[in-house]
A and B are shown apart, each in its own frame.
Chain A
Amino acid sequence: MTKSDLIELVSNRLHLPKGKAESIVNCIFDSMEESLRKGERIEIRGFGSFEIRHYKSYEGRNPRTGDPVEVQPKRLPFFKVGKDLKERVNDGDGTDKPAPKPATATG
């Protein structure tokens, strides 16, 4: 599903004009991007969280030539899926039937 598909679905579900749905979806992801740019964490209940991880510089290699290259330090967003969504994705399988939870036998 692409962003336009998402916009289309949101527009249908909420009976909103397509342009309005587009502004909303864009605003949501723009907000998240702004937050990450400031180095902020994002926590969306029921979905997951994003945080910025800092990576030091290291010596990598050009995969084509094998030449060593200096990889600059960088900041990358790291997404951690929320517990609820994690379970839903794992149990989902394209059906509505939730998989039975494995029994955890503790004394």
Chain B
Amino acid sequence: MSEKSPKPSPRLPAEPTESDHHTMTKADIVENVYERVGGFSKKEAADIVEVVFDTIKETLERGEKIKISGFGNFVVRDKNSRVGRNPQTGQEITISARRVLTFKPSQVLKNVLNG
């Protein structure tokens, strides 16, 4: 299936771009919540951030979309089955019907990135 593309060596970034400087992770978000919101220990801030993402994930798992104003919408879409091809062998295969998650950035976020 589509995710079968060969992985490049982890040591060599596939496409060096400006975004290679730093990758934000959950730890960075926890740090921000800890510093900017305050009132919690770091451990508490970590648990809180975990609960927020768990809540989002559970909602999406139920097939419900999430609209974050100013950021974007996470939408669960139903895809019909279709005929695809194994890109390596050219052999026809049926890609089963599935549910996928897509993200549509808000106009506000798009403007921020291009301002």
Contact = CB atoms under 8 A, between A and B. Distances in A.
B68 A31 contact: no
B6 interface: no
Contact of B24 (A2, A41, A90, A93): A41
Contacts of A52: 17-19, 113
Chain B: number of interface residues, binned into ranges: 35 or more
A92 B53 CA distance: 17
Given A20-B39, A90-B100, A74 B55 contact: no
A81 B56 contact: no
Contacts of B96: 102
B24 A43 contact: yes
A16 B110 CA distance: 32
B85 interface: no
A77 B102 contact: no
B62 interface: yes
Contact of A39 (B19, B72, B100, B102): B19
Contact of B55 (A2, A10, A92): A10
Given A40-B24, A89-B99, A27 B51 contact: no
A49 to B, nearest CB: 8
Contact of A46 (B51, B53, B65, B109): B53
Interface of A: 1-3, 6, 9-10, 13-14, 16, 20, 23-25, 27-33, 35-48, 50-52, 54, 72, 74-79, 81, 85-86, 88-90, 92-94, 102
27 contacts: A1-B59, A2-B68, A6-B52, A6-B66, A14-B51, A16-B48, A23-B37, A27-B29, A27-B33, A28-B29, A29-B70, A31-B24, A31-B28, A32-B71, A33-B71, A36-B113, A41-B23, A42-B24, A43-B25, A44-B29, A47-B53, A52-B17, A54-B17, A79-B74, A89-B60, A89-B101, A92-B63
